Chain A
Amino acid sequence: SADFLFKFLVIGNAGTGKSCLLHQFIENNFKDDSNHTIGVEFGSKIINVVNKFVKLQIWDTAGQERFRSVTRSYYRGAAGALLVYDITSRETYNALTNWLTDARMLASQNIVIILCGNKKDLDADREVTFLEASRFAQENELMFLETSALTGENVEEAFVQCARKILNKIESGELDPERMGSGIQYGDAALRQLRSPRRAQAESVQECSC
């Protein structure tokens, strides 16, 4: 019953809370006894974005460096990605450049990436300031949000904003869902009613910091 189907990727260093973000998004609660991910985890959810039902297929990857070679195979055909770091760990923030390089190289040109500074609830231990990260996001043309998988703050927003931006791109014609490897498919509903060429509104961009 979805209009579109987007393939999403969750990437970032180990221990930044990628799986917890996904779990929070899908189940709406925090998984405090979570296993570390080996290879890949998978989740899907239908969300409503700008009156469209979008089914997200989310691939949650392992964070350790040596799994990078496997993670790379998932970039192909991803429409969006959540690039996650831990605001209490500068090291995970420093690694962002590497992750971005991978994503830019291996994913499709039009992949929409949102930067997520996770563990927002641990503000007392913060090592990466909001300003610094949002500057990094602007420089690299990323959307940016600080999230908390524990409290659920901004978790849904991160996925929704990413999806919204992709929809905008589709509507503005920048992205062609029918192109192979775009990570986007038409759902059943969309096949019935052809896409309405509404003007891309800047509302999604207003909400995020870039």
Chain B
Amino acid sequence: MLRKRRSSSRGKAPARGRSSTRSNNIITPAEGRRRSINTPPRSSSRTRSVNTPPRSSSRTGSVNTQFRSRSRSVNTPPRSSSRSVNTPPRSSSRSRSVNTPPSSRSRCVNTPPRSSSRSVNTPPSSSSVNTAVRSRRSSGKAPVRGRSSSVNTTVRGRSSSGKAPVRGRSSSVNTTVRGRSSSGKAPVRGRSSSGKAPVRGKSSIGKAPVSGRSSIGKAPVRGRSSIGKAPVWGRSSMGKAPVRGGRGRSNVGFDEFGFSYIKRRERTLQHRSHDYSYPQPNPIKVKELCELLSYWNGSSFICRSQIERFIRIGIPPALRCRVWKCLLDIEKVRDASSFNYQVCLREIRKPLVDLSVSEYSIISAISTLGERENEFGSAAAESLGVDVALFRQIALDLQRSFPTHRSLMGDSPEAIEGQAKLFRVLTAYASYNPQIGYSQGMSYIAAVLLMLLGEEDAFWALVVLLEKPKYLSELFDSSLKKIQHQALVFQQLLKHRKPQVYQHLENLGVSSVHFIMQWFLTLFTSLPCWDSVLAIWDLFLLHGMVVVFRAGLTVLQLLESRLMSMSEEAAVLPVLLHVPIDVSQYRVLIPALWSTEVQEWEITCMNRLILEETDEGHDAEERSRNSPRSLSRVDQTEHRAKVEKNEAPGKEAVGTGGRNVFARMLKAAHRYLADVSKQSVTKISDSPPEAEFGSRGSSSSQTQRRPVHPDWNEASAEHQESPCRILSPGRAPLTEIIIGSSSSIQIRESQLI
């Protein structure tokens, strides 16, 4: 029966004939023992064999690699009893599994009848060579993929096209073979035990870098056979199936946003939730949104209020890339800047070559950079014109930013490319703005951008995010002062909005800086529900920093009852640092986010208060306890009593001039309005700031490329409002009304300043 099935399967994969013309032949002698992995992706209509002796029909590429690591022979006689390839049928695909003895042409096909799992499960001790083949005839591409936990390889194919990439990987040998018959690329990757012995070779096919790594002591036993037990992944309603991949785990798949599923056993440790609850986009709305994007004008109030409406409904994932590009005005920024990303990369490449480091082999890059750093010392490294420590730090963090996302996880070709991209974007930013360089946290932001945008767009998006005062400017500077300041501002906000929570946290000794750093510096990417993260980002890109405060406040509001019932710091902090799934779910968090209003001027006023207090050396807490805002928010009587109680000491503390808090709040508000009205005046008369955005740094020298906007430079961030801030809907009417009556205030304030 098996045989019969197989032959029928052969007959149904005709398009693989193309790839049969090429094959890779990788022979790896290691420590006396010889391992040969021959992967002829000649997935002709008849067969594909992943492990065949060197005398196989491969004609073209042959890569010989010396491995330092101990290795295991890949060519082993098959024992059909040990094989268990479990490939469940999916609606669109036919699944088959083929058991391929390396030395012979005969194969057995094993198709488990109606299993619900898609995993390839093989007993790790098995020495057989199993090849699961799936073919999809309906689609136009024919990738053939292989992976194995010991020597097992899954080959996946979709017939009827000229493309036939082949992938193979194993946890013990970690060999990935990807061949694309059309392009002729066949990179083979792995890691050596030290991670230092990447060998690259060029075969006659095209590219075939090979490196090796044996997983020392790590080799997790994975892929126990669990036929019919594998969890059903993915939201079937989304119509998207999880894709296989990952780091040698046979049970790894990816969800629609590219985060890996981890085996059930490890679920308790799992950080990401895969249960997404974002709303399904309405086709009519999608069409409307597309239309809006086609005539998008970033400085138009109408466009911005329109897009806010769409963000509220929920941006469809497919359109997010375009929306972000529009919101960030990447094109404009790039065109206006004299900084050239490609040129910059070329400049960076030189020192990298000098250091003999490649972003494509991050593990070895880290150790090489470490060695170089020791050899040269910091002084000598500077003479090279590069910061070795910077490169090393970036390299260190690549695999530690979203370690479960497919674009960065493990050592699949996709991840290696993803890590290389992230490395390039971050090093390019470091040379764009050498004063800030690289700070931990940036890699999360850049990685999110890279998930949605192309490499160069992601770079410019990162520039906008890290340079515009509206977003995160100065937050990552070398002293990290601003973020600590922001933590105080948030604390004030919390005090006014949620006094009980504030007081409770205060009593337990939980400082806001503990969780604010993580929330703000990574822009909530630590939340377990990715659809919520993206929704927060959508709004953040529209309104800027105020959204981060808003989101932070929302999370605390949702956690309020839970936090209030906790009686110690040790219980509170983990909840805040790892916001639970039930709170961060889209259907919970995002509606709450929309119903939580935080106004620009609120943040600005508190900013001023904190600044004044730190300037005058007063205790920040005493002040705002007297703030009039709290009266409107909380139980009036209770607070009046508090205010009265604190009135006297507060006044004593102020001392200088005896100004009361209300007067200062008013002054701060006035100042803000003055700024706003000034800006609206300049906006009308001058060219929009976006045009000037990238105009600095026209000289090619790196030091002069210090990318500070002329406008952004002269005043602190909170003074500097980009026009879009003012135009943001919701608060526009309010400000307009006040601006109308504030011309006299403006004069007074300018005199004051």
A contact residues vs B (CB 8 Å cutoff): 14-15, 27, 29, 31-44, 55, 57, 62-64, 66-67, 69-70, 73, 88-91, 94, 121-122, 124-125, 127, 150-151
Contacts and interface: CB of A to CB of B under 8 A. Distances in A.
Given A38-B521, A57-B570, A91-B373, A66 B401 contact: no
Contact of B517 (A14, A38, A150): A38
Contact of B513 (A35, A39, A151): A39
9 contacts: A14-B397, A35-B271, A36-B396, A36-B400, A66-B479, A91-B374, A94-B374, A122-B194, A125-B194
- Residue of A39, A62, A88, A127 most packed against chain B (CB within 10 A): A39
Contacts of B484: 69-70
Given A15-B400, A94-B374, 17 more contacts: A15-B366, A15-B396, A33-B403, A36-B396, A36-B397, A38-B444, A38-B526, A44-B570, A66-B477, A67-B480, A70-B484, A70-B517, A73-B513, A121-B216, A122-B194, A125-B196, A127-B374
B441 A90 contact: no
A36 B401 contact: yes
Nearest to B369: A91
Nearest to B268: A27
A66 B569 CA distance: 26
B374 A90 contact: yes
B93 interface: no
Interface of B: 193-194, 196, 216-218, 269, 271, 366-367, 370, 373-374, 392-393, 396-397, 400-404, 409, 439-441, 443-444, 477-481, 484, 513-518, 521-522, 526, 569-570, 573-574, 577
Nearest to B484: A70
Nearest to B217: A121
Contact of B393 (A14, A40, A90): A14
Nearest to A124: B194
A27 B577 CA distance: 17
B518 A38 contact: yes
B-side interface mostly = helix
A40 B409 contact: no
Given A64-B393, A66-B478, A14 B440 contact: yes
Leading 6 A-B pairs by shortest Cβ distance: A39-B517, A33-B403, A36-B400, A15-B396, A42-B573, A44-B570
Contacts of B526: 35, 38
A151 B217 contact: yes
Contacts of B217: 121, 150-151
B4 to A, nearest CB: 43
B367 A70 contact: no
A37 B521 CA distance: 11
Contact of B400 (A34, A44, A94, A121): A34
A26 B373 CA distance: 34
Contacts of B517: 38-40, 70
B326 to A, nearest CB: 29
Contacts of A66: 439, 477-480
A41 B440 CA distance: 14
